[in-house]
Structure 1
Amino acid sequence: MESIRKPFQGVSNIIRFNWHFYVMAIFVILLCLLFIPFVHESLRIMLLVLIALLTIPVLGSLLVSYYVYDVSGLYKLSWIAGKDNQNILHISAGFDETSAIIKAKFPAAQLVNCDFYNADRHTEISIKRARLKYPLADGCMAINSTNLPFEDSSFDLILAIFSVHEIRDQEERILFFKQLHRVLSDDGTIQVTEHLRDLPNFLAYQIGFFHFYSLNTWKHTFAEAGFALKSEIKVNPFVSTFDLKKVNHGNPS
């Protein structure tokens, strides 16, 4: 199953989709190195400190990304509570790395793949680059995040892996989960896999951790949409999967 992914695929995508950040860091480092031989010793020390402050976080974040996406076993998807006889909805946002793995894991399941990326709503530059590199796959439905084209109670399991954080507007995010509530069967499960805005991700990604949501933000979103958080699975120290169940069996208002 892991052969579906290539070596270094995770960290190489991080660089490919966020190359502007690395170009700026390298430019500043080279500029500092250029000036070091020509400046006073006190300023030279300051430049060396600046180089260290840029180099260590950049290399550290890439090492963590390599661990998370390439060697931690994340893409074994061992936490998924699926069965071969289930109807499974898989949701991506501009970039799908997991549907093929899910299909291989549950070959007899009825798997529906959909993607809610909308260039007008979801404006992060990294996800725009991802969509340009990986266009919508054949058989994957383009959907509206606030109006899913599925019947009520259509799915036994819904999987959203590194996708929902791309909905930056809280109201849209809650409406999206209300739609998931509608299309999930009464005894079904939603599993949401995300980084969190917490200490491990701050140490790993520094300012980049603001792209993630806090645990309290996720809990608020789930509760507003009519879900109970049954468990949080730590896939690795930097990634969590939330198991959600319906609190009530009607559609939340």
Structure 2
Amino acid sequence: MDTLRKPLQGVWNIVRFNWHFYILSIGLAMVLLYLSSIQTVIPQEYMVFASLAIVSIILISLLASLYIYDLSGLYSLKWMDRLGLSEKNSIVNINAGFDETSELLVKRYSDAKFSVLDFYDAKKHTEISIKRARKAYPPYPNTLSITTDGVPLEDNSVDIIFAILSAHEIRNNAERIVFFKELKRALKPNGKIVVTEHLRDAPNFLAYTIGFFHFHSKSTWLMTFKNSNLKVSKEIKITPFLTTFVLQNA
């Protein structure tokens, strides 16, 4: 576990930034249990089962998050050894309003020229969890706010661009393609873009049930990359729940 992160920081952040969801879910489970004891219209065992199912879904998602964000080594960044990256002169890290990686990347690539870009837009990204996260964690020093259609980087100027658990927040397909075209424009001819994301797939459905709809499918990502004139040079699984794509100019 990286010393820059506290024990259980990942799962604790999920709870503290989404506490309203957990209160509502537990409250619903308790109401169902109570109603099962006072009404006779719906068989009692059905309502008890529904209550237990709600609690089980919460526990499974928290256990999965504990594994992914606290126990898997995600934030140790050792998995980057498998990406074939070398220390370069120019690195850009992109976040969507909540930055958990810049400090870690700066430590790993200590000799690189490092920039941080944040495409958070309060009008588009209205999730209360992001607002709570931004209040709890100030942005990395000298982070530059950007728009997805105007990345202020010079053409052919960057060796490595990281987008770790951030690009999925661009919900519109056309907007996401424009964004990746902007990243491609800034990339040096032999540069790489590293995209790490949950996918809308079976493992993430088992972990997060309907919450997996917040993620994009692999086919959606591949379509985005293709239409941005980027190709996947390498693909790895950090865990069964996280996929990293290494992109290069097509």
The interval holding the TM-score normalised by the smaller chain is over 0.9
| 8 Å Cα contact 1:229/1:242 also seen in 2 | yes
Q: Is the 8 A contact 2:119 2:146 kept in 1?
A: yes
Partner residue of 2:223 out of 220, 223, 228: 220
1:148 and 2:157 aligned: no
Q: Map Cα deviations across residues 68-126 of structure 1 (whole Å, 9 max, x no partner).
A: 00001111222334433421000011000011111111111111111110111223332
Deviates more, 1:134-143 or 1:67-76: 134-143
Counterparts of 1:156-175 in structure 2 under 5 Å? Answer: 156-175=159-178
CA contact (8 A) 1:83 1:109 kept: no
Distance in 2 of aligned mates of 1:168 and 1:130: 20
Structure 1: segments with no counterpart, 5+ residues? 248-253
CA displacement, residues 116-169 of structure 1 (integer Å, 9 cap, x when unaligned): 101112233322332232233321111111111111111100000000001111
Q: TM-score, normalised by structure 1?
A: 0.92
CA distance in 2, matches of 1:44, 1:146: 54
Shift of 1:54: 0.5
Is the 1:157–1:190 contact (alpha carbons within 8 Å) kept by the matching residues of 2?
Answer: yes
CA contact (8 A) 2:165 2:197 kept: yes
Tell me the alpha carbon deviations over residues 169-226 of structure 1, each in whole angstroms, 9 at most, x when there is no partner: 1111111000000100000111000000000000110000000000000000001111
Please state how far the C-alpha of 1:231 moved relative to its aligned partner. 1.8
Q: Distance in 2 between matches of 1:89 and 1:3?
A: 23
- Confirm whether residue 185 of structure 1 aligns to residue 168 of structure 2: no
Aligned length: 247
| TM-score normalised by the chain length of structure 2 | 0.94
Secondary structure of 1:126's counterpart equals helix
Structure 1 counterpart of 2:220, one-letter code:
T
Distance in 1 between residues matched to 2:127 and 2:191, nearest whole Å: 32
Give the corresponding residue for 1:251: none
Aligned to 2:232: 229
